[in-house]
Structure 1
Amino acid sequence: MLWVYTFIYYLIAGLILPREFLKRPRNLRLKWLRDKFAIFKQKVTHSSRSFIWVHCVSVGEVIALSTLIKKLSKNYNILLSTITDTGQKVAKDRFKGLPVETIYLPLDCPFAIKRTLKAFNPKALIIAETEIWPNLIHTAAKKIPVFLVNARLSEKSFKNYQKVKFFFKKVLDKLTLVVVQDKIYQEKFKALGVKEEKIVVTGNTKFDLEIPYVEFFWEGWVKKPVVIAGSTHHPEEEIITKAFLSAVNQGTLLIVPRHPERFDEVFSRLNLMLDNLEDVKLYRLSALSKEFSDLKEVKRCVLLIDQIGILGSLYRIGDLAIIGGSFIPHGGQNPLEAFYWKKPVIFGPSMENFPFIQEFLEKEACIQTKPENLSETLHHLLKNPEKLKALSEKAYQIYLSKTGATEKILNLLERYL
């Protein structure tokens, strides 16, 4: 059946490649095209050290495997592939100065995968979370061990894979190990036909964070309390802003949209929303400078963070975090960076992408609320610092108890590298 998949993939790729090419900034298009077709300038011979190929689809996976990549880079060169532009940007920033080479994931066609393997001659392929590309796995597994690490399967993905289990079972059989986040995912992979002895539960590497301490030149200007709305989606920016303004007479709301291509759109929407409110000011982070000090005079401020890769460090300066993607039926975004900095966390009804959050809820270490109750929840928490402190302490202790997955994965990989 692999040839059928490959044929269909060629047809689809032929249709979407022009659009994908044109939607990228001009300065990235040539690199993207070369990488997709695995056109590398020459055979790569960086040093006597072997390469390990790590594939992460986007920002979330890059962050989740950051500690693993940094530790592997002590002994190996790393070839890090991503699919998104933001994944590339964050990877380059995060691993600056390390032996990490970033590329866009080549097309999932045998010729492109073979050319990549020939150019870099990796010793192993490590795939993050749910990136099950049939030709990537099938072709690479003929030469090197292939690991699926920090693996998870949403209910939707699981049901889709079950429909074509006869095909994906053969693909998953090629994996050397499937290293899953918890026993729930272990059972799902078993149900898809993965042999039990190939599945190992290590916990979630997303808990093994290393977030840099960044001192922002403007952080002393903004009025307290500071509420950070992280990784927001449309129309959460308006929902959260409205709730914030109803809850506080003085304070700052930092809004960090999930997708950078929405920065202009979000600013326009918020500008329209706040236009008639004289006591509220809206700014873009990119418009601030060390000579700009108007923020010091503003009692209520909404600051749009139009810069990628800094959300994790931003949570440090917040008094409370609101997790985006949770007030719409999206499944939520990662709350762990807020827990890392001991920040109390609020989110909406939709957090199914992060099943571990249930334990935090059961132990009253975070707050889940509906959009219509967000203002009241914010007002109550911000007026009760003891409650905020209790939430953050409980959450941090649970967070600490779940760290350590990266070391377990490294110990497993050492048997094969």
Structure 2
Amino acid sequence: MLKVYYLITFLINYLVPLILKFRLLKKKEDPNRYKEKLGKYTKDTPDEYIWFHASSLGELKSIEKLIEPLMSNFYGNYKALITTSTKSSGDYAKNISNDQIIHQYAPIDTPQIIIRFLNHWKPTIGIFIEAEIWPNLIIECENKNIPLILLNARFSPSSLRKWRLIQNVFVTIMRNFKIITTMSKTIKEKLTLMGLNNAEFIGNLKFYNSANQIESKKNANNFVGMSIHPGELKFLISAHQKILQTQKKFTSIIIPRHINKIYKFEQLLKNLNCTYTKYSENNKITSGIILIDKYNIAEKFFNYSNVVFMGGSFIKHGGQNPLEPARKNCKVLHGPSIYNFDEIYEFLKKNNVSSLVKNEDDLAKQIQLNLNNAYVKNFNNIIDSYGLEIFNNTLNKVKNFINNEIK
């Protein structure tokens, strides 16, 4: 099976430039840097690198705080190479890049590109985050004796069911990681049942955020819909219209999961005959429906509301990470599909911070019930304390791994 994958990706390699150019037209790639995904680089590599490989913005934020203490306190003779795949993560990486931390877009998983990438950067060690399972990349690292660790491993139930169909292939790939730390106990148990003895659970890194700051700007008229998918918009609009009947200054701040798909939200709102304002028009929150159309500003809106609905949960997507609004002492509402973050939601539910909503009527009821919410106050301290313990355990795990592998 791996040989078939190798052959298919070897042939696909010749189509990859065309695919990337098509994505450029869709504004899904950085026009100045997309060639990095082809293994073509403008930077020289005279240094030794510890390589941190993530996928998107969320994964990068999970590993960001590990990079700084590792590179400054323990391994100052090395530079950090960060690779990510999405444009939003590349934009964010500019904020943390410096003389010692370099960001590049991750190589497409074809044999030719992977070899160019590894021959150019020659990483000493690879530290992967969450769900970055690319067979050619992982196997070629093994061929070049580049030790790998996978942190905060995340697999949805559907992805594990698919991997079980080719379990021997999955185990062959995953055994190339010296250590796998999992996002949940459930995932660790499932990996062990599949035949992996290199998995362990030390806590979910997403609980940690050293930069969390609380601002007292809560407004009982404001509601936030975070990481909303197009198929969920109708539920939020229905709830908005119901609440507006009794609360004339009610405001719904809608943050799409993918800002580059803002046009879909605009078309849906027009089809629903809804008046709305794009945030970029005046950078202010006014009454009505506000559509957020800027990158990397979502977190600040949690300071403006007591209640947040997390998207990806009214559709079969598995939910989105609810910790950011919980850290801002918001009541977190969600639909029934939360399997990607079930243990986080279990933690929030135990502390009375999250609630399940089943439909738009239930959503409207829960929003109104929690607009004046005050009982989530100081929950951020509970998360921060728990997250710090997980962070320190993970940091020690990675430090020991690097010390054992660097001779």
TM-score range, shorter chain: 0.7 to 0.9
Distance 1:368 1:178, change over 3 A: same
After TM superposition, the structure 1 = structure 2 runs for residues 96-115 of structure 1, keeping only pairs within 5 Å, are 96-97=97-98, 99-115=100-116
SS in 1 for 2:127: strand
What amino acid does structure 2 have at the position aligned with 1:106? Answer: P
Q: Does 1:322 align with 2:322?
A: no
Partners in 2 of 1:205 and 1:111 — Cα distance?
Answer: 33
Conserved 8 A contact 2:327-2:380: no
Conserved 8 A contact 2:276-2:291: yes
What amino acid does structure 2 have at the position aligned with 1:370? Answer: K
What amino acid does structure 2 have at the position aligned with 1:343? Answer: C
Query: Which of 339, 343, 349 is matched with 2:330 structurally?
Result: 343
SS in 1 for 2:109: coil
Q: Offset of 1:381 from its aligned partner? A: 2.3
Partners in 2 of 1:91 and 1:149 — Cα distance?
Answer: 19
After TM superposition, the structure 1 = structure 2 runs for residues 38-187 of structure 1, keeping only pairs within 5 Å, are 38-41=39-42, 43-45=44-46, 50-74=48-72, 75=76, 76-93=78-95, 95-97=96-98, 99-141=100-142, 142-187=144-189
Q: Which residue of 2 aligns with 1:404?
A: 389
Q: Which residue of 1 aligns with 2:19?
A: 19
Q: Which residue of 1 aligns with 2:282?
A: 288
What amino acid does structure 2 have at the position aligned with 1:397? Answer: I
Query: Which of 374, 379, 390 is matched with 2:375 structurally?
Result: 390
Q: Which residue of 2 aligns with 1:204?
A: 204
Aligned Cα RMSD in Å?
2.7
SS in 2 for 1:122: coil
What amino acid does structure 1 have at the position aligned with 2:255? Answer: V
Conserved 8 A contact 1:52-1:125: yes
Identity of aligned residues (%): 26
Q: Offset of 1:390 from its aligned partner? A: 2.3
Q: Offset of 1:353 from its aligned partner? A: 1.2
Partners in 2 of 1:414 and 1:251 — Cα distance?
Answer: 49
Distance 1:335 1:192, change over 3 A: same
Q: Which residue of 1 aligns with 2:405?
A: none
Conserved 8 A contact 2:17-2:38: no
What amino acid does structure 1 have at the position aligned with 2:302? Answer: Y
Partners in 2 of 1:9 and 1:161 — Cα distance?
Answer: 19
Conserved 8 A contact 1:252-1:301: yes
What amino acid does structure 1 have at the position aligned with 2:18? Answer: P
Distance 1:84 1:3, change over 3 A: same
SS in 2 for 1:415: helix
What is the aligned length? 390
Q: Which residue of 1 aligns with 2:359?
A: 371
Conserved 8 A contact 2:209-2:384: no
Conserved 8 A contact 2:219-2:305: no
Distance 1:377 1:169, change over 3 A: same
What amino acid does structure 2 have at the position aligned with 1:6? Answer: Y
Q: Which runs of 5+ in 2 are unaligned?
A: 403-407
Q: Offset of 1:160 from its aligned partner? A: 1.0
Distance 1:190 1:27, change over 3 A: closer
Distance 1:354 1:273, change over 3 A: same
Partners in 2 of 1:26 and 1:370 — Cα distance?
Answer: 33
Q: Offset of 1:345 from its aligned partner? A: 0.9
Conserved 8 A contact 2:299-2:325: yes
Distance 1:347 1:411, change over 3 A: same
Q: Offset of 1:210 from its aligned partner? A: 3.9
Q: Offset of 1:36 from its aligned partner? A: 2.4
SS in 2 for 1:389: coil
Distance 1:285 1:42, change over 3 A: closer
